[in-house]
Amino acid sequence: MKNIPLLLMGCGGVGRQLLQHIVSCRSLHAQQGVHLRVVGVCDSKSLVFASDVITRELNDQTLSEVCRFKSNGSSLSALGDLGECIVNGNTESKRKVMDIAALLGKATGLAFVDCSASSETIRMLNQVVDMGCCVVLANKKPLTSTMEDYDKLVSYPRRIRHESTVGAGLPVIASLNRLLSSGDPVHRIIGSLSGTLGYVMSEVEDGKPFSEVVKVAKNLGFTEPDPRDDLSGMDVARKALILARLLGRRINLDSIKIESLYPDEMGPDAMSVEEFLGSGIVSLDNDVQERVKRASLNGNVLRYVCVIEGSSRCEVGIQELPKDSPLGRLRGSDNVLEIYSRCYNKQPLVIQGAGAGNDTTAAGVLADILDIQDLFP
């Protein structure tokens, strides 16, 4: 049985779902000769870890309790009642995490898994890669930081996996890596990489007011608590930056042209969420509907996409696209990516499927962890 020590950063929706997947897949992984030995789980304030990280682990009961406590909004510190080791405080937790990474990185190896949404993990990740640890990311921020941080993270390419940073569980990164490593240069990527904006654009296509569609999407749980986090296009821009850098573009986030679906005067600094949804967003309905009508007259539809082309073009925003194209046929919250290369020139490689959701994203993280099992003794 191959044992893979694992330390998880982040106990939000994706992190909790990953722990649940690990527990529920025990028998399957045993048949495959693999055991994921969770030695620690950390949130922004506390770390719970095994009493001896070299030989012991957090048992499945403890992992289930972590999920229950965190889903109720409780602190990890309460898990001390189960007899596990607890470190409280942001600074103290980070210091202990680094101690564990240094110890296991040299001894057995460690899968350092970042399912947070924080930029605070970047410095830690830059250090653990030099300790011999493997890095698995669902967090986009480390890969969209400075080029210096990015270069450090990918300096050991066999030891990093980040499929879930772009299309949840969709095989986007793996497919691109296969093309690039086979000498098939990718010259254009266009894709709808936001389930939220994919849903919004396909609904307004049917004549529904933009404001109403956004409110329904929020009620369905498709958007962030503040829908402007999605409508700003920043999340799509981060995904575009990850893809562009994978293709060798040495650019930063401020190099990307980003179209926001609301003006600056309706931003979080100027309006509350309630004001935006109550009176602000309604004023955008006519403009969006006019753009929908103009596209329809041209036989096209509107989609919010990222476009990476040539050596310089990288932008995200609304584009008119043919109705019969893969992106034009997109409905609901699926993600679609068209990849054009030498081999896929006239007919692109198309990747489509659910590109959001904690379950799908966590499954992608789990697959990434299993993909690096050969690096462990």
Report yes or no: 189 and 338 within 8 Å, Cβ to Cβ: yes
Four-CA torsion 301, 302, 306, 312, nearest 10 degrees: 80
Report yes or no: 142 and 151 within 8 Å, Cβ to Cβ: no
Residue 195, token pair as written in the block:
């389930």
Q: Is the dihedral of CA 320, 326, 328, 334 positive or negative?
A: negative
Side chain identity, residue 342: R
**DSSP conformational letter for 121:** H
**Contacts with 75 (C-beta within 8 Å, 6 or more apart), sequence order:** 45, 46, 69
* Cα–Cα distance, 111 to 105 (Å, whole number): 9
Count of helix runs (H) and strand runs (E) in the chain = 14, 13
Q: What residue spans of the chain are helical by DSSP H?
A: 13-24, 26-31, 60-71, 90-107, 121-128, 147-153, 172-181, 195-204, 210-219, 228-231, 234-246, 273-275, 285-297, 358-371
The annotation places the binding site at 10-15, 140, 224
3-state helix, strand, coil in the chain (%, to 5): 45, 20, 30
- The angle subtended at Cα 34 by Cα 28 and Cα 40, nearest 5°, is 105
Catalytic residue among 215, 239, 293, 323: 239
Q: Measuring CA to CA, which residue among 16, 4, 125 is closest to residue 372?
A: 4
293 noted as active-site residue: no
Report yes or no: 212 and 220 within 8 Å, Cβ to Cβ: no
* Cα–Cα distance, 115 to 141 (Å, whole number): 11
* Cα–Cα distance, 212 to 218 (Å, whole number): 10
* Cα–Cα distance, 361 to 367 (Å, whole number): 10
Q: Measuring CA to CA, which residue among 205, 168, 173, 188 is closest to residue 304?
A: 205
Active-site positions read 239
